[in-house]
Amino acid sequence: MLIIVAPGQGAQTPGFLQPWLEDPEFAARLDWLSAVAGIDLAHYGTHADAEAIRDTAIAQPLLVGAGLVAALSLFPHPADAFRRIGAVAGHSVGEITAAAGARAITAEQAMVLVRERGKAMAHAAAATPTGMSAVLGGDRDEVIAAIAAHGLTAANVNAAGQVVAAGTLEQLASFADQPPARARVRPLQVAGAFHTEHMAPAVGVLGTLARAVSTHDPRTALISNADGQVVHDGREVVRRIVSQVSNPVRWDLCMETMQDLGVTGLLEMPPAGTLVGIAKRALPGVETFALSTPDQLDEARIFVERHGTPSPIDTSPTWRMLVAPAKGTFARNDAMEGDSLQPTAEIGTITSLRDRTPVVAPYGGVIVEWLVEDGDLVSPGQPLIRLHPKAVVS
């Protein structure tokens, strides 16, 4: 199975778009997204220095725009992608790239959301001197406990031995003076304590804007930063994009879900390298591809063909599919085929070693077909039930 991932803030480097912009079609598409975002993405991706693209309000639209246009270079006929991609995921702001790639939102909606996200997070970061530090090595549980003991937040849990602490500069300094056993603390060049309570004002701004965003259910499995669950409700995708601004990124759980799905190949969109580096350590046996320059496109397409399998999610204009958000044992409720469900009705639960997850029908509808039985073991993204929307079935 092929999984496409999109990097988050910090992956950008000066000039990374220079070779891509030699393609007139790429340049034209990037100009269009620049117009939507109100930012000259070509300038910042080619001529701006590291300090300029470190600015949150610049870095975030630059990353999302670059990822979306590069995806169109990799898949000139976008519909073909859904016959090859098993799942998508994005780290932090990369989740907006993934959501647009999965067609839960449009590219234009993604650029407006990321523009306002970047501005709001930059404004929130300016209110209090805050930052982030990488904690490398050590026992994960001990590291997270030490972070909490200093009043900090484990803002990114990327993998074993790679956790990011976030909070005020005073808290981070104290933490660095008393690092966890067998761990190194390295300050990160970021403008604030992202994915913590310090970003709460940005959540309010983005939440208000998100209410106007029209959505579709993703065309392929989308793995959420929040908990590694597969999300197949477009409204929930946007809700999570909003809430993740002040909540930790659990990339470790995303990779657990990738393993549950049976990933064999992981391809990172540009500016690539960060997530591939994590995967090489955390996903042994999984082949990786860091797409960094356009001269790699032919090789990347071969990689896609080698690992590509259709997503288990199918879509139709006349019925909706509900899929498993996580791995575990499915317990069905007593609803039968032909029964009508109200919006947000619970159809069952999935129980795993980690937790118990309710499965709800966000739109309601009439049960067309159960695809699993009570007590079945299910995997993330596995279809559970088909529903006709009530507007279709009278």
Bridge partners (DSSP) of residue 385 are: 322, 370
Distance CA 165, CA 291 (A): 29
Distance CA 34, CA 41 (A): 6
State whether the Cα torsion 177-183-188-194 is positive or negative.
negative
Spot the catalytic one: 91, 150, 195, 232: 195
Distance CA 88, CA 221 (A): 6
329: left (phi over 0), alpha (psi -120 to 50) or beta: beta
Distance CA 254, CA 266 (A): 12
Residue 164 is classified by DSSP as E
CA distances from residue 315 to 30, 103, 183, 207, 386 in whole angstroms, order as listed: 29, 12, 47, 28, 10
List CB contacts of 212: < 8 A, sequence separation 6 or more: none
Coil, strand, or helix at residue 356?
Answer: strand
Spot the catalytic one: 34, 91, 92, 232: 92
Listed residue (258, 48, 49) closest to 268, CA to CA: 258
Contact 194, 133 (CB under 8 A): no
Q: Catalytic: 92?
A: yes
Query: Among all residues, which ones are annotated catalytic?
Result: 92, 195
